Amino acid sequence: MSSTEDIDYPRILFQYNNGFLVSKIMFTACELGVFDLLLESEGPLSSDTIAERLGTSVSGMERLLDACVGLKLLEVEMKSEGAFYRNTELSNLYLAKSSPKSQYHRLMYYSKTVSFCFQYLTDAVRDGKNQYERAFGMSSEDIFGTLYRSEEEMIKFMYFLNAFWNIDGRDVIAAFDLSPFTVIYDLGGCAGGLAQECISLYPKSTVTIYDLPKVVQVAKERFVPPEERRITFHEGDFFKDPIPEADLYILARILHDWADDKCMQLLTKIYKACKPGCGVLLVETLLNEDKTGPLEAQLFSLMMLVQTEGKERTPTEYSKLLAAAGFREIQVKKTEKLYDAILGRK
């Protein structure tokens, strides 16, 4: 068994400290279009060529490219003319904008929006509330009014959500057999990424995206093609407006935005709206019951602290909320991905 002397604590701390630098390097390379350019090129490119095409300094680009090599985001080949760079498989698949599984918009949202709130994490821990007022000078009371403070910010968020469902959507929709539920409402379905996965996996189902009017309008214009007749829309605020009857209600990344009392308010409203045998599917990042992780869920919970009124929860905590609202036969499925699924029935 290793003694504490065998553990290089300073190196571990240095690696933790480097997390900020690593994210900034990746954000910068994405924003400048490095991975897009290399995906489109017919072969490796020199730092001079990349700098010229992207309109940057040669010295700055060379250092950025070398750091990306160190992070395994790029590969480098030394030739007589100098160093030539190309994407790794990871970058082609997840960092180039044109990839179907691209996480570009997710990273840009972290870079441009989430990072501003995280500057005030110390204040958030002291205050126990979100930091929109400090970060953006806007009220922290209406979190989605602030989140959607401009159409540009709203569209960024919609792309951000769809990036998650490009990776994890199929897994959470397939976690349970949802084929008996043919009339589905996706509450807060936003840009429709999860709805698309749902109708793809369950061809007899229809999905209605229930979201704020301005979100629905942009979803129709930019994200869901008009010829897709199995996805429809319902404009409204599901906290304030009636919720129509359906076979299944999907709440994906919704409850983690809210404190327990608001979660209970929404779940109770859904329970009253649905008929016996209907279901509610929660899609969330689940914390371990013993609080040991996973790290992604712990980090997300801090993100909820600086941005929302909610938090990430354990399977037991979500199950108790569902049971208190009246739902039974509660099942939990871990997907081994970022998001997990919980199904409750009336």
Q: What is the pTM of this model?
A: 0.91
* pLDDT per position as a tens digit, 65-91: 999 999 999 999 999 999 999 999 999
> Cβ distance 133 to 122 under 8 Å?
no
* pLDDT band, very low/low/confident/very high, at 295 (cuts 50, 70, 90): very high
Q: How confident is the model over 202-210, as a mean pLDDT?
A: 97
pLDDT at 339: 96
pLDDT at 168: 93
Handedness of CA 41, 45, 47, 51 (dihedral sign): negative
* pLDDT per position as a tens digit, 42-54: 899 999 999 999 9
CA 65, CA 75: separation in Å to the nearest integer?
9
Least confident of 132-146, 273-287, 315-329: 132-146
pLDDT at 136: 86
Measure the CA dihedral 244/247/250/255, to 10°: 70
CA 133, CA 47: separation in Å to the nearest integer?
41
Q: How confident is the model over 183-200, as a mean pLDDT?
A: 97
Does residue 247 register a pLDDT over 80? Answer: yes
pLDDT at 321: 98
Does residue 201 register a pLDDT over 90? Answer: yes
* pLDDT band, very low/low/confident/very high, at 112 (cuts 50, 70, 90): confident
Least confident of 103-117, 259-273, 326-340: 103-117
* pLDDT band, very low/low/confident/very high, at 1 (cuts 50, 70, 90): very low
Higher pLDDT, 18 or 15: 18
Q: How confident is the model over 244-251, as a mean pLDDT?
A: 97
Higher pLDDT, 14 or 246: 246
Token pair in block for residue 284: 């969330």
Does residue 249 register a pLDDT over 70? Answer: yes
* pLDDT per position as a tens digit, 116-139: 899 999 999 999 999 988 988 887
SS (HEC) of the chain: CCCHHHCCHHHHHHHHHHHHHHHHHHHHHHHHCHHHHHHHCCCCEEHHHHHHHHCCCHHHHHHHHHHHHHCCCEEEEEECCEEEEEECHHHHHHHCCCCCCCCHHHHHHHHHHHHHHHCCHHHHHHHCCCCHHHHHCCCCCCHHHHHCCCHHHHHHHHHHHHHHHHHHHHHHHCCCCCCCCCEEEEECCCCCHHHHHHHHHCCCCEEEEEECHHHHHHHHHHHCCCCCCCEEEEECCCCCCCCCCCCEEEEECCHHHCCHHHHHHHHHHHHHHCCCCCEEEEEECCCCCCCCCCHHHHHHHHHHHHHCCCCCCCHHHHHHHHHHHCCEEEEEECCCCCCEEEEEEC
Does residue 311 register a pLDDT over 70? Answer: yes
pLDDT at 10: 74
Does residue 196 register a pLDDT over 80? Answer: yes
Q: Which residues are annotated as catalytic?
A: 256
